């Protein structure tokens, strides 16, 4: 099992802060089976279809598995931190 939580704020004055993937989790017992990759593919598709031109997320710098997954999709750190987590962005 797992879940994803999005934030869509199309009226945000900052166009680079409108579309967030707030949380994305796959149960530890199910990790390593391609579920995260499949889910993230669908999540990105959903964002695109709903007008996003950029997706922002954050994760702990120590979460190497998540970072590897996000990097493989083209997410890049932008140097910002959010509650102690590294911020990454994907331009669509």
Give tens-digit pLDDT for 51-82. Answer: 899 999 999 999 999 999 999 999 999 999 99
Residue range 2-91, CATH number: 3.40.630.30
Contact call for residues 56 and 17 (beta carbons, < 8 A):
yes
Residue ranges of the alpha helices (H) in 1-92? 35-49, 64-72
Q: What is the mean pLDDT of residues 39-58?
A: 95
Q: How far is it, in rounded angstroms, from Cα 69 to Cα 43? A: 13
């Amino acid at each position: 099992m797992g879940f994803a939580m999005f934030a869509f704020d199309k009226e945000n004055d900052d166009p680079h802060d409108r579309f967030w993937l707030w949380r994305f989790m796959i149960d530890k017992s199910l990790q390593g089976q391609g579920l995260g990759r499949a889910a993230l593919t669908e999540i990105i598709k959903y964002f695109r279809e709903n007008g996003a031109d950029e997706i922002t997320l954050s994760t702990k710098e120590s979460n190497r598995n998540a970072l590897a997954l996000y990097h493989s999709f083209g997410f890049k750190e932008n140097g910002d931190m959010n509650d102690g987590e590294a911020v990454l962005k994907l331009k669509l």
